[in-house]
Amino acid sequence: MEGSRRTRLLVASLLLFYLLASAHCLDSSWGKKKKRKHEIKGPIKTVVVLVMENRSFDHMLGWLTTKSSRPDIDGLTGRESNRLNASDPDSPEIFVSDDAVFVDSDPGHSFQAIREQIFGSADASADPAPMNGFAQQAHSMGLGMARTVMGGFSPDAVPVYAALADEFAVFDRWFASVPASTQPNRFYVHSATSHGAMSNVRKDLIHGFPQKTIFDSLDEDGLSFGIYYQNIPATLFFKSLRKLKHLLSFHSYTLSFKLHALLGKLPNYVVVEQRYFDIDLLPANDDHPSHDVGRGQSFVKEVYETLRASPQWDETALIITYDEHGGFYDHVPTPVSGVPNPDGIIGPDPYYFKFDRLGVRVPTILISPWIEKGTVIHEPNGPTTHSHFEHSSIPATVKKLFNLNSNFLTKRDAWAGTFESHFSLRKTPRTDCPEKLPEVKTLRPFGPREDATLSEFQMELIQLASQLNGDHVLNTYPEIGKGMTVAQANRYAEDAVARFLEAGRAALRAGANESAIVTMRPALTSRTSGGATNPSLQNIYIQ
């Protein structure tokens, strides 16, 4: 009897405990929904983006049409030409050639230079664009430059691209997003706007460009991204990527890219950045004149072969494009009408550009085991009758591939053509994709010129580096980079990145808000006797 009573009391106690525990759990979770893991429904789970520097489509791929028997590609016939004076029909005529090997000079690619190349004058009203001012503009820069910009590479000189074009897909109607230089176009790749920038803008370079990016959209849905950099990650121009929580997404290309690929640990969105500074130990591989295109070919080969050997290969897409044409000739008219301004921002004086026309056509290749051999992608099928492929097509396609919940970033990526449909034409991935690409020979007859002065893009990278290490607050900031050689700039940039990332990671370890942004303080930066820096929490300001 007593035992039975104790049993009933024990059962009652356990029941009461269960009810109290259940009530507590119900109360603590009331009104909260468990966040579901974001589902990617299609076959592509990883998109890899590689943006090379300053070459036009005809310059790099134009001769595939006749030299590699690819009439399906809108390339060169050999009859294309420009006159040295676009307005004089009796002016000397410069024809295209296939003898480009190494370009030692840097053709014009400022906004005004590009306008002259496209229209032959300062009058930008012609539609279609005549594309008749390349030789004229180059001739004004120096003797022989006109023939340089009208020249292109034979397929034998760029064997990696020739092989990729045969094995996968070439876009022959992909344009730069804006008729301007490097950085504005790179912004469009990840944010579908340059936030009004036509070149570098000191205030925005210092504080970071504020627009929303595809990185933010991915983060909102719990998807991953990673930037694999070499000298300096140009993606740090975006303010949001300077948040503490995102610093863990920056990886050394040399130390991490092959390892992550081998382990099947590449994130959903991968940006691979090149070496932008040309030094003896590690020559530049970004294709920017006067860098060796042979090095660029070797770099593309390395990236492809790394992905091909990864267990993630069957779920991967690699897109290779160029930021802008770099002053080199292209015969396809640049779209000059029907292009929406992305965000209502007008460019600065004296041009007040409305961001309502595109830049020159650039080489773009799409690589995946889901792509049929020898594919050529021409105009997109929408979303409007006047949509085109341009750099904003990348975030627009990523949004669709990954079923992102956020809105389009701007009016531009909402308008741009997308290419997700090309991954659904097969039921299974190909098994015959080459594991190796052709070997590449160097095209430059001499080594890097470490004592050379900096290009415009390299100057912008040094200004970015000065923000990362805090030197932007110094009175000497406007002069930073002007007296640097390429070798000095490379050391400065690499040191600045190392200090910035280590300081941010130290702040994270100390419990700082992960959404905070690090700003370095140069006056408090301590250096070791060997010249390396020792960033600490006292050296940074958390915003």
Of 406, 423, 440, the residue at which a domain comes to its end is 423
Q: Is 438 a domain residue?
A: no
Query: What per-residue confidence (pLDDT) applies to 453?
Result: 93
Cα 540 from Cα 522, distance rounded (Å)? 9
Mean pLDDT calculated for residue range 118-128: 97
Residues 316-341, mean pLDDT to the nearest whole number: 98
Band of residue 468 on the pLDDT scale cut at 50, 70, 90: very high
Give mean pLDDT, residues 17-42: 54
**In terms of domains, do 417 and 478 share one?**
no
pLDDT, tens digit, 9 for 90 and up, residues 470-529? 998 887 777 888 899 999 999 999 999 999 999 999 999 999 999 999 888 874 444 433
The enclosing H or E element of 42 equals none
Answer yes or no: is 18 within a domain.
Answer: no
Check whether residue 401 and residue 502 sit in a common domain.
Answer: no
Q: Annotate 190-214 with b (16+ C-beta within 10 A) or e (fewer).
A: bbbbbbbbbbbbeebbeebbebbbb
Q: Classify residue 4: in a domain, yes or no.
A: no
Say if residue 208 is in the same domain as residue 70: yes
Residue 27 belongs to a domain? no
User: What pLDDT is stored for residue 541 in this prediction?
Assistant: 60
Q: In the prediction, which pLDDT does 200 show? A: 61
Do 247 and 122 share a domain, yes or no? Answer: yes
pLDDT for residue 528: 35
Last residue of a domain, one of 399, 423, 447: 423
> Of the ranges 18-22, 111-115, 241-245, which one carries the lowest mean pLDDT score?
18-22
Decide if pLDDT at 383 tops 50: yes
The least confident of 33-37, 118-122, 527-531 is 527-531
Higher pLDDT, 129 or 32: 129
| Model pLDDT, residue 204 | 72
Residue 117 lies in a domain: yes
The residue among 417, 384, 385, 386 whose CA lies nearest residue 400 is 417
Same domain, 177 and 324: yes
155 and 51 assigned to the same domain: yes
Q: Look at residues 389, 399, 331 and name the one whose alpha carbon lies nearest to residue 364.
A: 389
Q: Both 361 and 472 in a single domain?
A: no
Query: Are residues 311 and 325 in contact, defined by beta-carbon separation less than 8 angstroms?
Result: no
Work out the mean pLDDT of the chain and round it to a whole number. Answer: 91
Say if residue 257 is in the same domain as residue 389.
Answer: yes
CA 375 to chain CA centroid, Å, is 23
Residue type, 100: A
Confidence tier at 366 by pLDDT (50, 70, 90) = very high
**Considering only 110-124, 366-380, 529-543, which range has the smallest mean pLDDT?**
529-543
Render pLDDT for 175-211 as a digit per residue (tens, 0 to 9).
Answer: 999 999 999 999 999 999 999 999 766 667 778 999 9
Whether residues 319 and 467 fall in one domain: no
Q: Tell me what percent of the residues of the chain surpass a pLDDT of 70.
A: 89
- From CA 467, how far away is CA 275, in angstroms rounded? 20
Q: In terms of residue numbers, what domain contains 143?
A: 47-423
**Torsion 491-210-319-154 (CA) sign:** negative
Same domain, 79 and 188: yes
Q: In whole angstroms, how far apart are CA 237 and each of 80, 206, 242, 349, 539?
A: 38, 8, 9, 22, 21
Specify the range with the lowest mean pLDDT, choosing from 47-56, 88-97, 200-209: 200-209
Domain count, the chain: 2
* Residue 366 and residue 319 in contact, taking contact as beta carbons nearer than 8 Å: yes
Nearest by Cα to 231 from 290, 281, 194? 281
* pLDDT at 536 exceeding the cut of 70: no
More confident: 201 or 42: 42
pLDDT of 18 over the 80 cut: no
pLDDT tier for residue 17 given thresholds of 50, 70 and 90: very low
The 3-state DSSP class for residue 125 equals coil
* pLDDT score of 533: 46
Rounded to whole angstroms, what are the CA distances from 33 to 23, 36, 91?
17, 9, 72
pLDDT category, 375, cuts 50, 70, 90? Answer: very high
CB 84 within 8 A of CB 91: yes
pLDDT of residue 519: 84
- Using a cut of 0.75, tell me whether the model's pTM lies above it: yes
% pLDDT > 90, the chain: 82
Mean pLDDT of 238-245: 96
Q: Are residues 241 and 173 in the same domain?
A: yes
In a domain, 33, yes or no: no
Q: What is the pLDDT of residue 103?
A: 87
63 belongs to a structural domain: yes
Q: Is the residue at 352 inside a domain?
A: yes
Report the CATH number that the domain containing residue 76 is assigned in CATH. 3.40.720.10
Domain boundary among 423, 446, 474: 423
- Across the range 287-302, mean pLDDT stands at 97
Q: Are residues 171 and 261 in the same domain?
A: yes
